[in-house]
Amino acid sequence: MSHWLIDGIEERRRAALKASNKAQVYRELLSTDAELDLNLILDVANALELASLDLILERFEENEEKEKLLRAAACDAFQLFKTLFVAGSPLDQGKTLLRASCLAIIGDRGSDAARWLRALEDTGDWPDLPINSENWGERTWATLIDVWLRLIRKRGWSDRDLVLERIANLRSSQMEFEKNYLDGVTTHSAKATALELIGLYHLAKAADILAQFITEGVVDGNHQVQQLLDTHFDRAQAACEPARLIELEPTTRLLAAASAQLVNNSIWTVTRGVQENKS
């Protein structure tokens, strides 16, 4: 089984991955950067991300070949994004890190993504996200990115506590900032802006649910956490469609797929599976 987009970039994919491996060797053994064709790496990374998003839409658990194709594409996309220097504002950097980390989880490289994110903080390269911005749209996006990166990074109880704290702060600040933000938006973009906020709120709630599940194994007395998560991902997706939110829509799809993987890999799910097999 193949995919039209993946088939069309096979040669460039091999070249980009070869360059990525070269960059890793230079950094780890020589402590320097190799000269790379960054445009090639970025183009292939974007193409593999797009293919992954398409395969997620077509995803069927019983189709083992399609699952393998998705995992391979997502794995390679993560590898290439990890090679690139993330340019732009802290918010743009955060969005790229989040997408790449989701791809890592989907590609069965979640532990590599966690190590990568921890290293970014240790080296001072963690983006300074505007979680206290006066601009409510920026603040909401920044909080969303921060909490999901912390869930993926999994750096002890401090990250879990900060996830819950950040989301609580977002809720408590909503009344103060949301109205002024929406009032300042032009009539032409008012609907799209409001729908984007709705989608972001549902993704923040999904992060809240996942944080509780990862540490406690249950949310509001419910062990079937995937159903709760799917409700919020579906509502976020529904908010994206009428407004064609070209940043939020793919982020929602990646987060939904990655969170399902995190739930399946959690100690709680594995333990319950063992217990059910024994009974």
Structure confidence at residue 2 (pLDDT): 76
Domain end call among 54, 85, 116: 85
Burial class (CB in 10 A: 0-12, 13-18, 19+), 54: middle
252 and 122 in a common domain:
yes
259 and 194 in a common domain:
yes
Q: Is 8 within a domain?
A: yes
Q: Is 181 within a domain?
A: yes
Domain end call among 85, 117, 140: 85
Confidence of residue 61 (pLDDT cuts 50, 70, 90): low
User: Average of pLDDT values for 245-257?
Assistant: 96
268 and 131 in a common domain:
yes
Structure confidence at residue 170 (pLDDT): 96
Domain end call among 85, 108, 142: 85
124 and 262 in a common domain:
yes
Q: Is 94 within a domain?
A: no
User: Average of pLDDT values for 41-61?
Assistant: 89
- Tokens standing for 143? 């909080």
Q: Is 4 within a domain?
A: yes
Structure confidence at residue 275 (pLDDT): 57
Mean pLDDT score across all residues of the chain = 90
160 and 69 in a common domain:
no
Range name among 68-77, 207-216, 266-275 with the lowest pLDDT average:
266-275
**Residue range 97-122, pLDDT digits in tens:** 999 999 999 999 999 999 999 999 99
The residue that leads in pLDDT, 244 or 52, is: 52
Range name among 10-19, 51-60, 109-118, 263-272 with the lowest pLDDT average:
263-272
Confidence of residue 277 (pLDDT cuts 50, 70, 90): low
The residue that leads in pLDDT, 125 or 248, is: 248
Structure confidence at residue 86 (pLDDT): 67
- Tokens standing for 242? 């009428």
Parent domain of 55: 1-85
User: Average of pLDDT values for 43-66?
Assistant: 87
Phi, psi of 222 (to 5 degrees): -110, 120
User: Average of pLDDT values for 120-136?
Assistant: 93
Asked if 224 contacts 209 with a C-beta cutoff of 8 angstroms, the reply is no
The residue that leads in pLDDT, 26 or 214, is: 214
CA distances to 18, 56, 102, 235, 270 from 260, rounded to whole Å, are 31, 12, 11, 16, 13
User: Average of pLDDT values for 123-131?
Assistant: 92
128 and 66 in a common domain:
no
- DSSP E strands in the chain: the ranges are none
Judge whether residue 206 has pLDDT over 70.
Answer: yes
* Domain tally, the chain: 2
The residue that leads in pLDDT, 163 or 60, is: 163
151-156 contacts at long range (C-beta below 8 A, 24 or more positions apart): 151/207, 151/210, 151/211, 151/214, 151/262, 152/101, 152/102, 152/105, 152/110, 152/113, 152/114, 152/117, 152/258, 152/262, 153/113, 153/114, 153/117, 153/118, 153/121, 154/114, 154/214, 155/118, 155/121
Range name among 18-32, 111-125, 242-256 with the lowest pLDDT average:
18-32
